[in-house]
Amino acid sequence: MTSYPASLGRLWALTGQPLAEVGAAYSSHFDGIGLLLSRPLKPSEYGWCSPTNVLRFAETGGDGVQFGLLLLDGTLSEDSPVIMTVPMAMGEKTNFVVGENLGDFLALGCRRGYFILEQLAYRPDWLLSELADEEYGGDMSNDQKQLLGSLSVTFGLNSWGERIASRLKWLEDEYFDLLALPPAS
């Protein structure tokens, strides 16, 4: 039985559903900001490009983009980094380290949501520019702002601001080599 990090339990609590260790569940509560939660945590169904030591906890709902927690020494914990897998990225890279832990990941998307993060695979310079703005995106609805606001309050989030590029590089340098990637075909 998988033991879930307390931060994941707090995230599920915002949906009105408890995070139980048994049974399957799906929550579309955060759908408007690109964070569809699912349990149980399990490896990605995109085995050809997904690390085998990452357990998926959410997806964006588009193009198979998903977010998972990296097992450190075979264990899931509050310190598990968040990995984004972008299966449709036809380039060499489909996996990105997007948070040192769940709270750090939530902070990355706390002003623009999580759909936009897949652009790291396609238009990284544009994404960095978009995420550097400390305000909510101009095209965001009040509902989206409310969802992001609830995450920010619950988790005490502050956006990454101007340090996004250096932070992503540090995360990549620190954790990418820990990914158990499938052999290249």
pLDDT at 45: 77
Q: Render pLDDT for 73-123 as a digit per residue (tens, 0 to 9).
A: 999 999 999 999 998 887 678 999 999 999 999 999 999 999 999 999 999
pLDDT band for position 176 (cuts 50, 70, 90): very high
pLDDT at 1: 47
pLDDT at 117: 96
Residues 6+ apart with CB under 8 A from 2: 21, 40, 41, 55, 76
Report pTM: 0.93
Q: Using alpha carbons, list the distances in angstroms from residue 23 to 16, 18, 38, 152.
A: 16, 11, 11, 28
Ordered by start, the domain boundaries in the chain are: 6-177
